[in-house]
Chains A and B, each alone.
Chain A
Amino acid sequence: MVAEDRGSGELSQLRRGVLEHCVLAMLREQDRYAFDLVRELAQSDGLVTSEGTIYPLLARLRREGVVETEWVESLSGPPRRYYSLTKSGENALRAFTVEWIRFRDSVDALLVTRRRT
């Protein structure tokens, strides 16, 4: 019954997991408001399929408590929701960064070797 769109298969699965941490990384330097965050993330090549799908991700990060938000009055329009990294978000990002570099290097090594043979 459940015909789920797997998209580009494993790659999209992988992308989803990585994406969360990309958002955390974007908040490392400064707090950002949703629109700004979404626009920049969507502009990174191959990370997301569309801007709209980032909002469910942001909601998930809020639920996980790795980000927190605050409404800030805006001069040009309605209040904006600013996102910032929590302590647990910082830890998650640090742990992921280490893991990711190891993972990336291993995959790179294998992929490059396979291609040569």
Chain B
Amino acid sequence: MKTHLSSNLIQDYLKRLDRATRDIPPTRRRELREEIQQHVAEAVPGDASEAAVRTALDRLGSPEQIAAAERERLGTVHARAGWVEAAAMLLLLIGSSVLLLIGGTWLAVLGWVAGVVLLWRSRVWSPRDKLLGTFVIPFGLLPAFLLATVPTQVCVSGGSSPASTCSGANGIARIGLIVLFAVLLVLPIYTTVHLARSAWRSED
């Protein structure tokens, strides 16, 4: 068994590699990760000490170095976040909010669609980031705004004693709604922050 710390070192290394290779085409990115992972498995036997793991990782070189070599052999240029990413995020957020606050104006729809297009065209985000950006932002905000317009006299229906729970459950239901509202509001914000962080995270 590898010590806890040793396997943590390897996990950290692979995570750094994932970050550094975000702009590599997915198939090759996955393959490269497997190659490196297998290399480490070969280089350090199961009972390797922390020092042995560190040495093996040192010999591999930094994940950023490997990513740079991959880009070079692929003939691609390192994708860095720029105005496209900033515009994508602004359009997504503003598009979604305006759409929901003011109503379905064509401009807002267009803005949001443009945001999605930019999001998917960018090379700094992984496919997972792109899916998050496409679905979580509007579909978090949408129910959140819908909830905000729901009248407060909500009765919980379908309970064991539907008639009597109405007023009693009202308070609980309201708290539930507020929590749900907060969660739905926080999710898109969190996603936006996540997108910003993965786009502008300092890279070596």
Q: Give the secondary structure class of A's interface.
A: helix
Tell me if A65 counts as interface (CB < 8 A to partner B): no
**Total chain A interface residues with beta-carbon distance under 8 A:** 22
Complex: A36 Cα to B63 Cα, angstroms: 20
Q: A2-B78, A16-B72, A78-B41 are in contact. Are A55 and B36 (CB under 8 A)?
A: yes
Say yes or no: is A60 at the interface (Cβ < 8 Å to chain B).
yes
14 A-B contacts (beta carbon < 8 Å): A1-B82, A4-B68, A34-B38, A50-B61, A51-B59, A51-B60, A52-B61, A52-B66, A53-B68, A55-B69, A56-B66, A56-B72, A59-B28, A60-B74
Given A1-B80, A59-B32, A77-B42, the answer on whether A53 and B59 have CB atoms closer than 8 Å is no
Question: B70 on the interface (CB 8 Å rule)?
Answer: yes
**In the assembled complex, which residues on chain A have CB atoms less than 8 Å from the CB atom of B78?**
2, 4
Contact B42 A51 (CB under 8 A): no
Task: Please encode chain A, from 7 to 19, with 1 for each CB lying within 8 Å of some chain B CB and 0 for all others.
Answer: 0000000001000
Enumerate chain A interface residues (CB-CB to B < 8 A).
1-2, 4-5, 16, 34-35, 38, 42, 49-53, 55-60, 77-78
Task: Assess whether B73 is in contact with A60, with CB atoms less than 8 Å apart.
Answer: yes
Shortest CB-to-CB span from B24 to chain A, Å, is: 9
Q: A35-B43, A77-B41, A78-B41 known; A56 and B69 CB under 8 Å?
A: yes
Residues in chain A near residue B77, CB distance under 8 A: 2
Shortest CB distance A13–B (Å): 10
What chain A residues lie within 8 Å of B68 (beta carbons)?
4-5, 53
State the CA gap A55–B21 with chains docked (Å).
13
Query: B49 in the interface, Cβ–Cβ < 8 Å?
Result: no
Q: What residues on A are CB-neighbors of B31 within 8 Å?
A: 59
- Which partner residue on chain B sits nearest A36 by CB separation? B42
| Known pairs A51-B39, A60-B73 / 9 extra A-B pairs, C-beta < 8 Å | A38-B39, A42-B59, A50-B60, A51-B60, A52-B63, A52-B69, A55-B36, A56-B72, A77-B41
